Structure formats: C-alpha cells, structure tokens
Structure 1
Amino acid sequence: MSEKRPMFVKPGENSLYPIKNKDGTVETLVNPNVESALSIDNDSKTSFVYNRYHHLPMSTQRQKLPVFQYRNHILYLLEKHQTLILIGETGCGKSTQVPQYLLEIGHRVCVTQPRVAATMTLAARVADERGERVGETVGFAAAMRSERSAETQLSFLTEGTLLREMFASPLLMQYTCIVLDEVHERSLMTDILMGLLKKIAKKRKHLKLVISSATMDAQFLREYFDLGGGTSVIMSMEGRVHPIDVFYAAEPVPDYVQATVETVIKIHENQPFGDILAFLTSQEEILSALETLNTYAEDNNDRNERRKHFPSGVGAVNMLVLPLYGTLPHYRQLKVFQSADGKTRKVVLATNIAETSVTIPGINYVIDCGFHKLAHYSVSAGVECVSVCPYSAQNATQRAGRAGRTARGQCYRLYTEEAYNQLPPLTAPEIRRADLSAALLQLRALGIENLLKFPFPTKPPAKHVLSALELLLALKAVDKTGGLTQRGEMMAELPVRPMCAAMLVNSGEYGCIDEILTIVSMLQVDGIFMKGSGKSAIEARVARRNNFEVAEGDILMYLNVYDSYAAVRDTRAAKEWCRRRYINHRVMEKAYEIRCSLEKLVKNKFKLEDAVFEGPDLGTGKTIRIMKAVLSGLFPAAARLTPSGYRGLRGAELYISGDSCLYHTQQPSWLVYASISTSSDRTLMRDLMVVQREWLLEVAPHYYRLT
C-alpha cells in the first residue's frame, strides 16, 4: 500500500450543505438529472427493495411509509390539475402506494417502469398488499409476459410495453390515469413517452397524469406539461437533509481506486464511529478495492483484540466491507442494509445505484471518486458504447447527500475544488447521446409524420437524428421519403435494436430462423461467461476455448453455447453443467425467456417460414447462410484490417476486445461487430463475426460498392 495517502482540504464556512447560492436560492441535495446510463450499465441498476417493516402486518406497513401522510393532498391536487409532478426520495412508497390511492377512488390506472424486474416485483407487491393474486385487480405486462384479465384495474407496464399498446389504442382510452415512474433516470424511452403523453393530454382533457421521480427537476417538468392555465402542479415529499462537510483532495489523485482504499483506512483510524459509503464505477473496481480492504480488515480486527484505541485517540472498532452493484444476488445486496453491531464499522463499496436507486441507512461518511459509467452513441462507429467519465455537479451533490440522512455527515471528494468548479451542472439525458434509430422507428410506426417537430423534452442532436435515419434507410425499414416499409412495420414490433430486428425479419430468406432467434437472444444479455480469479480464471478460459470457441467469431460461439445449454436445460444437471463450464445460469435462463418471446412474434404473428434449399441442410453451407443472415443486420457495423489496425466504415480506429475469441487468433481481413466499449484511449469491438468482402457486396449491394 502506498505511504502517501490523499490529503484533504478542510471545508470553509460556505461549504456546508444545504447552502444558499449567489442568487439566494437554497441548494438541495437532489440530482435533477442522474440518468448516467442506467439502462445499459447493469452494475448501476437493481430491482432490489429493502423493507425494514417486513415483520409488521401489511396494513401497518403501508401506514409506516412516508407517502401515507400525503394521501389526501395527492388526490386533491390531482382532482384540481391534469398533471401532478410528484417528487419523493427512494423508498418513500410512491411507486406502490400512489397507484393504490388512485385505484381506490375509481381510476383505471397504468404505471410504467423502465425495467422488467421492477415491473413484475411491484405488481406482485401491490397484489400482496391487497390480498389478491397477480392478474386479478392488479396485473402486469412486460417483456412479452402478461398477467392481466378483464377485471384488471391497475396495470404495471414497462415503458416499451405501453408504447406498443399505443399501436392498438393511440389515445390509450383504456386508462383514466397514467403514472410515469422513475422519470429521474431520463432514459430514451422515458423522454419519448413524455412527448407522446403530452400530445395525448391535449386530446383527452380528463386524462390524469402523475409524473413520479426521486430527483428530477420539478420546475422543468411542470413547465413541460403545462398546457395553459396551470394544468400541472408540483408536490414534493422530500425529507430533511442534515448539513454535510465536504472535503476536497489537496491535489489530483493518480488512481481513484487506490485513493478510495486509503481514504477508507484514513477515516476508520481517525474519525468517530459511523458507516462509510464509497462510490466506484464498476464491479471490477469494487472487487479490486474489496480484496485490499478485506486484507486490512482481517488484520485490523485481529489487532483490536489487544487494543482499545487507534494512535489518533479514536476508539478502535472492527471493520466489515460489503460490495453493492446491480448484478449482485439479492441476498448479498440485503447485507448492506442490515445493521452491524455497535463495535463494527460497515464499509459499503457501491456503484451509482447507491446514488438514487437505493438508500442505505446509517451512512455518516461518503467517499466520491468523481466518475461514473455513461453510455454514448458513436456516430463514427455506428453503435453505442459505455465508458467511464467525469460526472456532473448535480451527481456530486446527490452523492454527498447520502451522508446526511440521519445526522451531520462528511463527504470526501477525490478531486480538487477547482475540478469541481469545472464540472458541468447536469448530466446530458440519454436522448442527447443515444442511438435514436429504434426510437424513430417506433415513432414512425405510431404515425408521427414530422419527427423533427415531435415535442421531445430535450431536443436530440441533429447528427444523431440524421445517422439514425440513414441506418433505417440502409436496413430498408423506411423508404427514401421516410415512409415505413412492410419490413419496417415488422421491425417496429420487435423489442430489439433495428440491426437485430433486421436479422430476424431476413432470417427466413436464409433458412435459419431458429438459429437467428438464438443469436439475437444471446446478444440481448451480458455476462454469459463468469470471470474467475487466479487459478479459476485460467480454468474458465480453458473451458470456454475447449467447449465453445470457433474460428468464425463470438456470435457463432454464442450459438454453440445456447444449443449446448438447451440440450441439458430440462435436466437436474443444468446448473452443475453451467458451473463446470463457468457459464452464468441466470443469464442463460434470461436468454431462453427472450428467445421464447421473440419466437412467438416471428413464427406466430409474422408467420415467417424458412426457405427451402437443395441438398443436406447442415455443415458449411448452413453455417454460411447463418452468417449471411447475421450480416444482413450488422453490415453497417463492419470493419476492415489496415496496416495500422481496424478501421470502421466512417474512419473510426477500432481494436478487438480481449474478451473476444478472435483476440488470440490471426486477425481476419473483414469482420462485423454488435457492440463496442472503451478502454483508456481505445475503442474495443465486442460480439464479433468474421465475414468475407464478397458477402458485403452480396448482402448489401445498396450500401457497398467496389472502389
């Protein structure tokens, strides 16, 4: 461990929170735009909900929630106004209780959620509170799964499901009140729904809207949904926030993971008793810090048997280090919320799910690295990627607020005060940095003629709109006039990216519908192979190489993995089979569910059938047809080998990811990729497949030509 630990500057009188800004307004510890790629970065999202009143009767649990005291106020405001902007911190009960209050006064309610797991969990919880089974009064529809009946009055839907319901009912006449939840995430789909609901509200004056958020800019939302005459109103249920001392690093730190470890130790040995929350950007960083701190904790706890105080004079206490990230199993996430004994300090290493998604009780100290993972669309590469980058000033304020929930707290920022003053005020919403092709395809399918005049809450960049339209034209989803083609109509109904939708729609022509269903399903999940450490990492690599890797690339490897898993899925040995081959069983089950959903659409609704080819349908001939079917969707994401490395079609400098099975082989002349990521100053291609130059000319003659 480095002897030189981070030095922090003592906060001045004006660094306490809450504070007044120069214009006289009070700065509150909320983040109006903490969007930060939650829809893509799995480590930064969770469906876990901690209930500290689980031992009480259900009716008592409902009354214990902070939102209960606001029930009559909420209903009164919604009676007087068409739109209610409801602001309340995570855990106050707004997602489960407000829909029930609306149901109790006779509304037919729809509640949207950005994620499938949250949709099903909330529906089950609300049905449980009402003493019913899911599918009666309370139901849900998400990811092609539906539990609803004619008696259902309260429906929990994913945002994409509600969007698809608009195909059949453009004005959503089946609902009298719509609750748009988790708006603070500002996902692309959230912004699209906000624009559509605003248009619907103008047509249906008696439709009630509840815009629910943990940390969104309420004034912005009120102005956006105000249709004239004060039709929208704000109600805040925010709790008290205690003052927080903010410390900055005296000089920039070269390694924020190492600095986080050293700051944890510094607080532990020099500050009074209280739990610590440290923010890092990813699972890998958390596990790295966890290993170092666990070694320190073991030594510290052993020494405490022979001492009562640290050299600083602070009482010696034990240390318990716990990780928290989105893909962590729920039973391990639960440990973060359980109180340690009075002689043990709890240290939580978390991604930004601890920023707004969950609230951890008992935190007195926050260590903030100043970075988070953010997704952005690369026009030159043609796909989205996730990278680590500095956050916004509002992210910093929200993270600091985690230390002031129960008492005065301290926040240690691992960057200088000068760097803080240079941070952007807000994180750009996803619509400003996302691939818009799927969104524009959906809007076109809904009959939105002029996409440029659509009332987006935040206008997308013109170059992203142009790039999306070019991609849809290349995939033949729209014609040259911007009208939707027959192929585009089918692609719009498929809940996957347009490139993957094009593969599915074209698969019948190549006689490989089943194989493309599998490939597309596997491309929708992440973390198929488990990463070990030390000896187990070598074993995992050998198991993957010996059982699944092929010369054609990762995409064909995924097909091998799924086919092998499908052969043992219905046996008792499925989990053991996955464990021996270092495959994530939960991810494979998710891929299976996605495949079943897509198969219903492709075979039952679209009635696609495999073309018949002469000769035996196996071996090299079948493999080439599968690869061409994949290429029919991924041809815009091709790269060619040059003396200086790979180059994308628009000149992007690309490299093969170290996780790819092509990384240790002779580099092919041409390949296509399904996703990219960034590492330091390199753009890495992931989910690769080798192709021939002639195939590009054959599959996409309208896109490629010889020069």
Structure 2
Amino acid sequence: MSNVPKSPAQKRAGTPGEPQPAGAAAPRPPRPRQAPPAQARAPRTERRDAGPEAARAPHAPRTRCAPNPVPPITFAESLPVSGKRDEIARAIAAHPVVIVCGETGSGKTTQLPKICLALGRGLGAGGAGLIGHTQPRRLAASSTGRRIAEELGTPFGEVVGYKVRFTDNLAPGASVKLMTDGILLAETQTDPLLKAYDTLIIDEAHERSLNIDFLLGYLRQILPRRPDLKLIVTSATIDAERFARHFGSDERPAPVIEVSGRLYPVEVRYRPIADDRPAAVRHAEGASSGRDRAKSAREAERDLMDGIVDAVDELCREGPGDVLVFLPGEREIRDAAEALRKHHPPHTEILPLFARLSAAEQERVFKASNARRIVLATNVAETSLTVPGIRYVVDTGLARVKRYSYRNKVEQLQIEPISQAAANQRAGRCGRVADGVCIRLYEESDFAGRARFTDPEILRSSLASVILRMKSLHLSAIESFPFIEPPPGRAIADGYQLLNELGAVDDENALTPLGRELARLPLDPRVGRMILAARDQQALREVLVIASALSVQDPRERPVDAQEQADQAHRRFADERSEFLQWLRIWAWFEEAVAHKKSNRQLVDACRQHFLSHLRLREWRDVHSQLLTVVREHGWRLNEADATFEQIHLSLLTGLLGNIGFKAEDEPHYLGARGIKFHLWPGSALVKKAGRWVMAAELVETSRLYARCIAKIEPEWIERIGAHLLKKSLSEPHWEKRPAQVAAFERATLYGLTIYHRRRVAFGRQDPARARELFIRGALVDGEFDTKLAFFAHNRKLLADIEQLEHKSRRQDVLVDDELIHAFYDQAIPAGIHTGAAFERWYRDEVSKSGQPEDKLRLLYLSRDDLMRHEAAGVTTELFPKRVTMAGVEMALAYHFEPGSPRDGVTLAVPLFALNQVDARRAEWLVPGMLKEKAHLLLKSLPQKLRRHCVPLPEYAAGFVERAGRERFGAGGLVDALIADVREQTQVATKTSDFKLETLPAHLFMNFKVIDEHGRQLAMGRNLAQLRAELGAQAQQHFQKIAAAATLAPAGEPAAAAAGASGARARRAPLGAPP
C-alpha cells in the first residue's frame, strides 16, 4: 500500500472558505440522515423486472454542515488502475469528461472515487460537492460502498455511504454517495442541473441499461451549463469509443484511458451438453403439447444441472480455488445448489448470489472461507461485482433477458444465449489470483455465431416512462434527445401509444392534465394510472396493495416437485372472479401473521407451509409502504369502507387496457388487443371459470403467449375507462318516427376487439348535413312524422289523393318524383335542422315572426300543381267510384296499383253478414274505369278464328263500353254480355268456354275482403265461392241477427246501423229494397 499526500482540501477538512469550529476534525459516527420534506420525497415503485431504481424520487436537500474528515488515502498497488492513477487524475483535472475503460478486476470501481477525493473533489459538503457514483444494481451499490469505506478505514456511511431503493445510509457530512443509476435519474426532477454533485462517476456504462442511456444523454445536455462538474464514465472494454464520441466536442472525442484487468491467463474450454443448443434455450423454445413441453423442461433442467456438476468436478480436479457458476435466474440457481449439495462433500460451500438476496446472504459471498466455495450467480457477477478468490468459471451461456414486443405490446422475459462480449466478461472473472479456467457449456462454433454485443436496453424496452419523464422535465423531444444510440421510431411510437392509452398524452402527444399528474408520481406509468383512478373510485386502500404486488415478483412459490401441494395451499386465497383479489387475501393473511408472530423463524416457516416466499412478501410490504408514503404526501385519504369489486377493477383496468381479452367462440384461446391470441396461465384459479371478457396483469410469452393474474370484467367497464381509445363506426343511418330523429347503429372497437355493436345512437351529432337530408326524406317526404302542424296534414292528404289517382289509373306517372318534393323542403328548411323537435320549433318561430295564421302564411304548403305531372284525365269518381251497392248494402272500394300483390287492382270490402248476398256476376264488371281493359283482354283470349271478327280489339272494346252504358253496366255476367254484343255486332256465335279467363291478370278480377262489424279483416281473396265455403255459415248467422234487429229497430233507423255494422263504411238499405 502507498500513501498519497493530502490535498489542500483534505488538509482543510471542511467546506472551502468556511472557518472550522473547534473540534471539527474529531471523527463522528455516521448519523441517520434527516428525513427530507414530505413534498420532496417520492420513492420509486417498479414493476417486476423493470429497470431497477428507474425512479423519480427527488433529491433530498442535504443539511448544510462541514464534511466529515477524510483519512489519508491509500491505493492498492496490485490493482491495475493504481498504476494509471496519475494519468487519470491529470485527465480529470483537464477535461470535463473522461472515459475509463478497464477490464473486469482492474479496480476502477473502488479506486476512482478515491482518486477524485485525492483531487479535492467531493469535499464541498453542506448541500453541494458530493461525488456521485452510480451502479446498475442495488447489490453492487451497497457492496461497492462498503468496500470503499473499508479501504478508507471509515465507518460505512460516514465518508462513503449509499442510497438505493428503500435505504438511505449516508451521513450529512459524507463525501461519496454510491447509488443506483435510477436514484440519480430521479433527482433530476428537483435538481435539474444536479448541483448537489461536483463529480459524477457513471460506472458499468457498457451495460447500456435504459437508465444509463438516459443519464448519459441528460448529462451531455447539462454539461455546458455546469462547467464545474466532472464526469467519469467507466466501461469494460466494450466499444468505449462510442462513449468518447458521444461526449466529444469540436470533433474531438473525450479522452479514453485504458486499464488492463486480467492478471493471469485464462484457459477457455468448451464442454457442450447433450444438445448443441443451450439446454434452457431448448426448453424455452418448447414443444408442441403440454406433455411434451413438461418432458422437455425436465430433460433440459437435467442436462443443464448434469453439465454444471460435471464441469465443477473437472475444475475441482485442477487444484484449489473457488468456482463461479453463471446461471440465468434465481430458480436455476436453487436447482443447481440442490444438485451440487447432493454431489459434493459437506465441506464445500455453495453460495447463491442474485439481486434479491438479503444483505446478510450477500455478504457471505465476499467473506473469506477455509472451504472451497462454489458461487452460483446471475449476470449480476458479470461486471457489477468482483467476487474475491475466483479461479474457475462455469458459463452456461445463458441469461434471462427482458424484451418488449412492439407487435404484441408485451414484455417477454426469456432465457437467451448471451453475447460474445458478455461471455468474455464472464471468463474475465477468473485469473485474478492465479491461472484461470473457464468452462463454457456450449460449442465453440455456437460462441462464434453469437452477437458481438448485448443489445442496449433502450432497443428492447417500452419507452413510455422515459417519454413521460422527459416531458415532465421539459427536455427536448425524445426523437431529438442525444441518446448514444437513438431508439427506433417503432419503440418511440409504442411509448407514445401506451401513454395515450393511459390518457397521459393527447392525440398530438402533448401532456394532458392527467399526464402531468402522473409524471409527479415516482411510479411506473401503469401503476401510477391505477392509483390515480383508485383515488377517484374510493378504492385506494385495496389498489395500493394490489399495485405493490404487481411491482414485485410473485411471492407464490410452485416448486416442480410439489406443484399440487402448492396449488392446494394457494387455493385458500383464491377468488372465483379475480386473481387480483388473491393479493388482498394473501396480504391480509401475512399482515395477521406478522402481527401475531412469536419469532421470525415461525413467520418464515408459516410462509413456507403456504408456499409463499417470505423474502418477496417483505419486499411487497416495502413497496406498499413507499406507495403509501406517496399517497399521503399528496394528501389523499384511504377509503374507510371496503371498495366494491367494480371499484377495484375499474381502477386496475385504467392501467391494463392493453391486456384485455375476449373469449373466442369454441376456441381455447382469447382474442387480445391488436389481433393477438393468448391462453390463460395453466396455474390460474380461473382457467375454467373466466368469463367472456378478462383483463390480465401481464402477458408473458414463453412457448406460447399466456395471460397471468386475470379477472373477469364487463365490456361496459372497457367502454367507460377506454372511451378515449374507442374506434367508433356508424352504419345504417335512418329516420325513426317515434323519437322523431335520425338514428344509426354504432359499433365500437378497442385495439380491434368489438366492445359493442348495433347500438342505436343519434346520427345528427356525427353528420348533421346527412341527418338533415334523412329527416326531410323520412319525416316530410315519406310522411313518417307525428306532428299537429297544419301544413303537414294538408300535404299528406294532397299526396294521398294523387296517389289514389295513380292507383285507379294504374299508372305511376301522375305524382311527381320524390326528389322534387325533397327539393321543395330542402330549399325552405335551414341547415342544422334534423330532428322533429328542432323542426317544429323553427316552424312555429317562423309563423310567429310573420304575424299571420299558419293557414294564411301557408309556409311549406304544397299545391296540386307542385305534385302532379299531368291532370290524369279520365280518372273520375264516376269511372272509379268509392263505393258500390250490392244486395242493398253499400260497400267500400279500394284501388291499389302493385302488380303481384294480393291487393293489386280493386278490392271490395264485404261485411260478413252480406257475404252470401254478393252478386258474383256483378263483380265481374269491376268498375266502369276498368271495363275497357278487361273487355279488351277477354276478346284477346278468344281463338283466332273468332277474334279476327273483332279487330281492331281496342276499338271494339271501347265500343262495347259505350254500348253497355250506365243502364246495362253490371246487368248479368260480363262474359254473357260480351257474347251477346259480339253476336249482335258481327253475327258470330261465341260461348263462355271460348274465353280463356286464366290468361287475364289478377287485377282484372274483383278482390273480396271480408270484414267484421269493427272493420277487421277476416279473409281476402278473388275466389268468392271459396270465401263463402269458409265463412258462409258465419255470414248466415250474422245476416239473421241483422234481420232480427231490423224488425225491432224504431221506424226510419237503418237495420245495419242498429246492428252496429257501420264500421266498414257499409250501410244496409231497408230490407226488401231491390238488389
């Protein structure tokens, strides 16, 4: 060890320019830091596996005080970075940004803060002048801080302390602050220029996490405004030139100082397991069936574990030294630990190392031991931590990587092969104490085919929280922000889309009021949105518990060898409608267990019995405590009454609109947003009970896409919460008489899912011009309008009269076209009127303004000239009478022109009592106006040899009508009269059978409609004999009643009236009158 002279700042041991009080140099033990003001504290809650510490917890103003004394600084000459400390110090003094590129084990992480202290940096305590030192992970931040404090010989927290999620171990007079990059990023909200620091060390920048990339871009922007700030960026030997160019100026890159790392050579051996692909990758790819997948998983695990055991055996035969095994995740670490414990002697120490271990368990890894140690670690030991004493490395070549699918809008946390750079980092962890050996459990050709570098997180993440944070800080748009590698446009668009889904930005991507409120919450945007909704829904108490549960790993454990027992234990917490409510039940159980525990061991045992992770439950409580702090700082009150199922799930739905699904008919899957298909997680309690609509906490893609943590929901909730996202379309706009408005059928979709369809809505708000047109056509032209306005009754009667002329004349060229009638109204009615109520208001206002009665003003009154193309000559009441008398009964006639219709032609309304008295021969004549056509067609039906004597037929038929005259019309049968006329005019004899009646169209036969005394139709047809067969007996009975009533009726009163038979416009002549 070597001593370096004290800097002037060290000699002063205080804030420059300030006199030191007596005794200031006396060492003081670290004190708990003063709690920051409530409005400043905003601790961060993350979704599970989100970027650690991606918080917006504002920086707490430090209490002004003298710095704690810094002892003489020494450097370990055995570390490569110590040999470069003078060069590094000169570069820091001369440049605002320095890139230190050093291989793993070079000592840069622990020695750089000491070099800065030796330069007098970090001694301006009392609110400014800290050396800020960031680490990607909490474990690295705490262990690095402890190591530096140990090397300085000061209690941890006094000169060197740390701040990570939920923990702030930094005395007021400390000089070096270790923290996660997320903590520093959080402080930019309340300290935009980061004036609390005079030096910043961004460590492990090569990891290129989202937070690191954001920090490097942010720092590049503020450096010109902070000429006093020194920035040191450290990286492994991975593309350091990229960082140098990023911080360069005037086309000159920032200086790069290379530091060697490995002290001894490392031999790399390739020992692939059975399949040439990594076992867990084979497992991740899955098999086609559930049974095959389970079998594949077991085989993959067995192959991987066997490979690890064999590799450790081989390394143990090489000689003494500790072994570091890299595995993809916590579960694989536990499986490997179990396999190694069964295989190796008891004196071998097997130590797990992953981020979620307790502090005590983490410390075991850094303590020396007489036994051989086998450390089982995730990639946290790749670059963030240097585990002492490692001579051997086993590299499975795998890591658990989070990727965001822009197509499916889901995060995929899958096991993937690592990059070449990551593999080399792992190999570099051995060879620091002696010649090292690294065994890779995959082929050398596999290594050669892998990507050179790990993708930066910004290229595989959702950018919603970054965009929200940038907007709240009023930074430049993300599209122009100086990222080292700008994210792809697709990722940016996806981030904006999520914020739009949450209602945080509008269609122009500007922050909404809700977005500004959301940005003030140090939470994942989805979780923050849920809490804001819960505040409004009076469901904060329950949603805080659920939201905090969604921000940590699932505490429920489901070991492979005890899945049934675990499922049975978890069933006590199940709810048949919602898995979100499980969290409330687990929470209630755990809170009660904590309150009544006799010892911590008993609590841990109780958790184990219920297959719950005590560690994750504790973290859940910590996150809930942070959320509760945020809520209280904003002055929001928790609901005292229990929230309802609807209130809770409406709140959750605000953050999960992209995770809804609709059960496909006769299919095992659900249709999700944007065309995806997903299945319910096999372990879900709702697999067989979920409704047609569900929402999920997350969609995870492994061998297939699964929805985890689901609940039944109602489509009406989606409509309420996602109103700003619904895509609505209208179809079939039409006029409706009863409500007197134009309506249409509306269909609404959310991300391609139909939320409702054929909902009747008012059309006028969507398209007033089209609605006005439909109003005029439907209400005024077609007459589908209930109104007492006199013009309407006048116009409808006029139209009906002219239509009757068309029916009688059997031609459709009398009444003008509907378009002309529409044009008449269109010209007179102002724009914007499309409902009956609005029209009537306008009409009455016009009449009122004119000062004339409506019938005098005649507004919108049509005339016959307006409506008729010609006069329809020959259509007279004489030729087309309204009534005819048969058997002394006056019966109504109706005319209708609609070929093919049962009503086509002329219809005689026959009262039931008069059915047997109708003269069939008279009915053959129809009415005078139709006689010429019928006579013409009857003559036309004659055989040629007879017909030729009557040509031209039209003239003969007209002559017959003339000769028949009024006196002979209706006397006898028509055919008999025609036979007699032909014989008289041509001396040609014809007979009834010569006339082919079946060739005549239906409208030339009388249509009989039999009605009762109330005018209701009993039967209708053109065959009088058939009608009499059906109703003749009833008709006879009714006739006898009429006759009996007539003999008892007072003199002069018609019998039909006495019988009440006037309802069908039929009036019975006095009995005995000639037929």
Choose 119-128 or 156-165, whichever is displaced more: 119-128
Distance 1:131 1:293 in 2: 38
Q: Who is 1:560 aligned against?
A: 585
Once the two structures are superposed, residues 660-680 of structure 1 have per-residue CA deviations (whole angstroms, 9 ceiling, x without a partner) of: 3334x433322222233333x
Q: Who is 2:951 aligned against?
A: none
**Aligned-residue offset at 1:197:** 0.2
User: For residues 123 and 284 of structure 1, do their structure 2 counterparts lie closer, same or farther at Cα, with a shift above 3 Å needed?
Assistant: closer
**Counterpart contact for 2:76–2:82, Cα < 8 Å:** yes
Distance 2:411 2:689 in 1: 27
**Aligned-residue offset at 1:141:** 4.6
**Counterpart contact for 2:74–2:152, Cα < 8 Å:** no
**Residue 589 (structure 2) pairs with residue 543 (structure 1):** no
Secondary structure (helix, strand or coil) at the match of 2:265 reads coil
**Residue 626 (structure 2) pairs with residue 601 (structure 1):** no
Q: Who is 1:373 aligned against?
A: 400
Matching residue within 658, 661, 667 for 1:639: 661
**Counterpart contact for 1:261–1:289, Cα < 8 Å:** no
**Aligned-residue offset at 1:200:** 0.8
Q: Who is 2:101 aligned against?
A: 87
User: For residues 522 and 244 of structure 1, do their structure 2 counterparts lie closer, same or farther at Cα, with a shift above 3 Å needed?
Assistant: same
**Counterpart contact for 2:690–2:711, Cα < 8 Å:** no
Once the two structures are superposed, residues 528-576 of structure 1 have per-residue CA deviations (whole angstroms, 9 ceiling, x without a partner) of: 12445646x5544333212x22123332211222233234435544743
**Residue 468 (structure 2) pairs with residue 441 (structure 1):** yes
Q: Who is 2:771 aligned against?
A: none
**Counterpart contact for 1:385–1:675, Cα < 8 Å:** no
Distance 1:512 1:437 in 2: 25
**Counterpart contact for 1:278–1:347, Cα < 8 Å:** yes
**Counterpart contact for 2:352–2:377, Cα < 8 Å:** yes
**Aligned-residue offset at 1:428:** 0.5
Distance 1:671 1:38 in 2: 21
Distance 1:352 1:437 in 2: 26
Identity of aligned residues (%): 28
Q: TM-score, normalized by length of structure 1?
A: 0.78
Choose 432-441 or 666-675, whichever is displaced more: 666-675
Q: Who is 2:616 aligned against?
A: 587
**Counterpart contact for 1:139–1:155, Cα < 8 Å:** yes
Once the two structures are superposed, residues 233-288 of structure 1 have per-residue CA deviations (whole angstroms, 9 ceiling, x without a partner) of: 22233323414244364984364651552464377369533554443322333333
User: For residues 116 and 452 of structure 1, do their structure 2 counterparts lie closer, same or farther at Cα, with a shift above 3 Å needed?
Assistant: same
**Aligned-residue offset at 1:425:** 1.1
**Counterpart contact for 1:244–1:401, Cα < 8 Å:** no
Once the two structures are superposed, residues 176-235 of structure 1 have per-residue CA deviations (whole angstroms, 9 ceiling, x without a partner) of: 222222323211011001000011113333321011234543222111111236462222
**Counterpart contact for 2:465–2:524, Cα < 8 Å:** yes
**Counterpart contact for 2:145–2:160, Cα < 8 Å:** yes
Distance 1:345 1:85 in 2: 37
Q: Who is 2:267 aligned against?
A: 244
Distance 2:159 2:311 in 1: 54
Distance 2:188 2:619 in 1: 26
Distance 2:681 2:533 in 1: 28
Matching residue within 273, 293, 300 for 2:319: 273
**Aligned-residue offset at 1:464:** 1.4
Q: Who is 1:667 aligned against?
A: 690
Q: How does 1:109-120 map to 2 (within 5 A)?
A: 109-116=131-138, 118-119=140-141
Distance 1:593 1:571 in 2: 19
Secondary structure (helix, strand or coil) at the match of 1:167 reads coil
What residue identity is the alignment partner of 2:228? H
Distance 2:177 2:73 in 1: 24
Q: Who is 2:708 aligned against?
A: 686
User: For residues 76 and 460 of structure 1, do their structure 2 counterparts lie closer, same or farther at Cα, with a shift above 3 Å needed?
Assistant: same
Distance 1:129 1:409 in 2: 26
Distance 2:314 2:509 in 1: 65
Matching residue within 378, 382, 390 for 1:355: 382
User: For residues 68 and 532 of structure 1, do their structure 2 counterparts lie closer, same or farther at Cα, with a shift above 3 Å needed?
Assistant: same
Once the two structures are superposed, residues 495-514 of structure 1 have per-residue CA deviations (whole angstroms, 9 ceiling, x without a partner) of: 32211110111212100122
Once the two structures are superposed, residues 148-194 of structure 1 have per-residue CA deviations (whole angstroms, 9 ceiling, x without a partner) of: 67755444443333333322332223322222223232110110010
Q: Who is 1:76 aligned against?
A: 90
Secondary structure (helix, strand or coil) at the match of 2:255 reads strand
**Counterpart contact for 2:327–2:379, Cα < 8 Å:** yes
User: For residues 508 and 290 of structure 1, do their structure 2 counterparts lie closer, same or farther at Cα, with a shift above 3 Å needed?
Assistant: closer
**Aligned-residue offset at 1:456:** 0.9
Distance 2:75 2:614 in 1: 36
What residue identity is the alignment partner of 2:588? D
**Aligned-residue offset at 1:144:** 6.4
User: For residues 538 and 41 of structure 1, do their structure 2 counterparts lie closer, same or farther at Cα, with a shift above 3 Å needed?
Assistant: farther
**Counterpart contact for 1:81–1:230, Cα < 8 Å:** no
Distance 2:48 2:692 in 1: 35
Q: Who is 1:311 aligned against?
A: none
**Residue 409 (structure 2) pairs with residue 382 (structure 1):** yes
Distance 2:168 2:474 in 1: 26
Choose 670-679 or 510-519, whichever is displaced more: 670-679
**Aligned-residue offset at 1:376:** 0.4
Secondary structure (helix, strand or coil) at the match of 1:626 reads helix
Distance 1:497 1:77 in 2: 39
Q: How many residues were matched structurally?
A: 625
If asked which structure has higher relative contact order (CA below 8 Å, sep 6+), I would say 1
Q: How does 1:334-483 map to 2 (within 5 A)?
A: 347-361=374-388, 363-483=390-510
The RMSD of aligned alpha carbons is: 3.6
What residue identity is the alignment partner of 1:603? R
Secondary structure (helix, strand or coil) at the match of 2:211 reads helix
Q: Who is 1:50 aligned against?
A: none
**Counterpart contact for 2:164–2:179, Cα < 8 Å:** yes
What residue identity is the alignment partner of 1:666? K
**Residue 560 (structure 2) pairs with residue 513 (structure 1):** no
**Counterpart contact for 1:251–1:416, Cα < 8 Å:** no
User: For residues 658 and 406 of structure 1, do their structure 2 counterparts lie closer, same or farther at Cα, with a shift above 3 Å needed?
Assistant: farther
Secondary structure (helix, strand or coil) at the match of 1:402 reads coil
- Which ranges of structure 2 fall in alignment gaps of 5 or more residues? 1-46, 53-70, 123-128, 280-299, 727-747, 749-755, 758-1075
Choose 183-192 or 98-107, whichever is displaced more: 98-107
Choose 258-267 or 685-694, whichever is displaced more: 258-267
What residue identity is the alignment partner of 1:550? D
Distance 2:541 2:620 in 1: 14
**Residue 221 (structure 2) pairs with residue 199 (structure 1):** yes
Q: Who is 1:30 aligned against?
A: none
Q: Who is 1:31 aligned against?
A: none
- Which ranges of structure 1 fall in alignment gaps of 5 or more residues? 1-36, 43-57, 302-317
Secondary structure (helix, strand or coil) at the match of 1:496 reads coil
Distance 1:129 1:268 in 2: 36
Q: How does 1:89-108 map to 2 (within 5 A)?
A: 89=103, 93-104=107-118, 105-107=120-122, 108=129
Distance 2:48 2:591 in 1: 30
Distance 2:239 2:684 in 1: 42
User: For residues 533 and 580 of structure 1, do their structure 2 counterparts lie closer, same or farther at Cα, with a shift above 3 Å needed?
Assistant: farther
**Counterpart contact for 1:59–1:129, Cα < 8 Å:** no
What residue identity is the alignment partner of 2:696? Y
Choose 576-585 or 480-489, whichever is displaced more: 576-585
What residue identity is the alignment partner of 2:670? Y
Distance 2:304 2:633 in 1: 56
Choose 450-459 or 229-238, whichever is displaced more: 229-238
Distance 1:267 1:590 in 2: 33
What residue identity is the alignment partner of 2:342? T
Indicate the structure (1 or 2) with the bigger Cα radius of gyration: 2
User: For residues 647 and 380 of structure 1, do their structure 2 counterparts lie closer, same or farther at Cα, with a shift above 3 Å needed?
Assistant: farther
Once the two structures are superposed, residues 71-104 of structure 1 have per-residue CA deviations (whole angstroms, 9 ceiling, x without a partner) of: 4333221001111112345565544443344345
Once the two structures are superposed, residues 392-434 of structure 1 have per-residue CA deviations (whole angstroms, 9 ceiling, x without a partner) of: 1222222333343344444443333333332111110100001
Once the two structures are superposed, residues 596-645 of structure 1 have per-residue CA deviations (whole angstroms, 9 ceiling, x without a partner) of: 2222322323x33568xxxx944xx6222111111111112212222141
